[in-house]
Structure 1
Amino acid sequence: MFAVRLTADAELRPLNPWHAEEFLANLDRARKNMTPWVSPAFVATDLDGARLVLQRYADRWARDDGGIWGIWSDGTLVGGVLLVSLNAGTGVCEAGCWLEPAAEGRGLVTHAVSRLIDWAVDERGLHRVEWRVLSGNVRSIAVARRLGMRRDGVLREVVAGPDGRSDLEIWSLLAPEWRAHRAGAPRGTDGGERLEQ
């Protein structure tokens, strides 16, 4: 078992199917904040659904086309980061995140996504990290900005939802931009630890 320290009381660890009960409890605490922004396929409502989501990402990790990691604070799963997609052939991946309200405002997602980007760029040699976000999700857009991402554009009314159609913003970061950002940005930890599954 490994853990990457994010702050004095928080760490990033692999999130596996056997964490389904913890994952479901975390989703229940985060559900109100997540529902407008995250696909219903991710926000499981029962134990079998939670296990299925985690198994889907375990399978993606085994196929080398995605992965999921949890953020634990004081021993409680409070959120996580994921590679929604990873294509080593094209050098492109899409990152994402979620966090329950009680853990907001501590920089946990920014630290965790930074570690994920480090791994994608340094370990896997990926060139482009994408961040896709509904236009009204100001917290997620703020994370993209803190990470030094640039907004590539907007796909107008591409996502259908219960309240109508929404715009989807595409943000990205290229490997040279990340290296420059990282060189000038303070780090959460010493940067010597590796992200694994």
Structure 2
Amino acid sequence: MFAVSLGDDGAELCPLEPWQAEEFLAHMDRGREHIGRYVPLPDVVADLESSRAFLQSYADKAAADAGRIYGIRRDGTLVGGVLFRTMDIGQGTAEAGCWLEPSAVGRGLVTRAARLIIDWAVEERGIHRVEWRVASANEASIAVARRLGMTREGVLRGEYVHRGQRLDAEVWAVLAPEWRQARQVR
């Protein structure tokens, strides 16, 4: 399996695959409440079978060129991830997302990992628009969108129900020309 370094702090980005379902479930168990504050991932990955099914759904998306999922490891331990929840190569659009367990928060891991996958999507796959949808109350994820140079395009009021509560979602996005220009400045 390959891994890409996220810096000199022992962090790396690597694919997540169905054979890693047990490790993925253990990771979800460590971060279940923290991760689940705004995203349904821990509610979907509740046992080994659902963990395997979730990872298989992304293996199927990758095979169809319709999505990708990557793990963030720190010193060999899975602590979070980034993904393309959707990818439409024909339209040149993708929706990126992320999650982290508490032990990994505040280290810039998601920002670094998201930069890598967005670079790949824009430069290798020809994606023109990358979206970042986030619960309006999720300040940490909004901060990542800002660090990525995304523009807040609007709020979808009452857009989804999570754990019995209706939440607003913000839509942030970056276009390929903006991404390339910002990359020259970094």
Which TM-score bucket, shorter chain as reference?
A: over 0.9
Work out the CA distance in 2 between the residues paired with 1:7 and 1:109. 12
Name 1:171's counterpart in structure 2. 172
Say whether residues 1:105 and 2:106 are aligned partners.
Answer: yes
Q: CA deviation at 1:163?
A: 4.7
- What amino acid sits opposite 1:4 in the alignment? V
Say whether residues 1:137 and 2:149 are aligned partners.
Answer: no
TM-score, structure 1 normalization: 0.90
Q: Spell out, residue by residue over 1:73-116, the C-alpha distance to the aligned partner (whole angstroms, 9 max, x if none).
A: 10100111100000011000000011111011111110000000
TM-score, structure 2 normalization: 0.96
Which runs of structure 2 are paired with 1:1-197 in the superposition (5 Å)? 1-8=1-8, 9-40=10-41, 43-185=44-186
- What amino acid sits opposite 2:7 in the alignment? T
Runs of 5+ in structure 1 lacking a partner? 186-197
Q: CA deviation at 1:48?
A: 0.7
SS for the counterpart of 1:64 is: coil
Work out the CA distance in 2 between the residues paired with 1:70 and 1:163. 28
Superposition RMSD in Å: 1.2
Runs of 5+ in structure 2 lacking a partner? none
Work out the CA distance in 1 between the residues paired with 2:43 and 2:105. 20
CA separation of 1:40 and 1:79: change in aligned 2, threshold 3 A: closer
- What amino acid sits opposite 1:138 in the alignment? E
- Percent identity reads 58
Deviates more, 1:156-165 or 1:29-38: 156-165
Q: Is the 8 A contact 2:39 2:162 kept in 1?
A: no
Q: Spell out, residue by residue over 1:1-38, the C-alpha distance to the aligned partner (whole angstroms, 9 max, x if none).
A: 21110022011111000111111111111111111211
Deviates more, 1:36-45 or 1:14-23: 36-45
Q: Is the 8 A contact 2:25 2:46 kept in 1?
A: yes
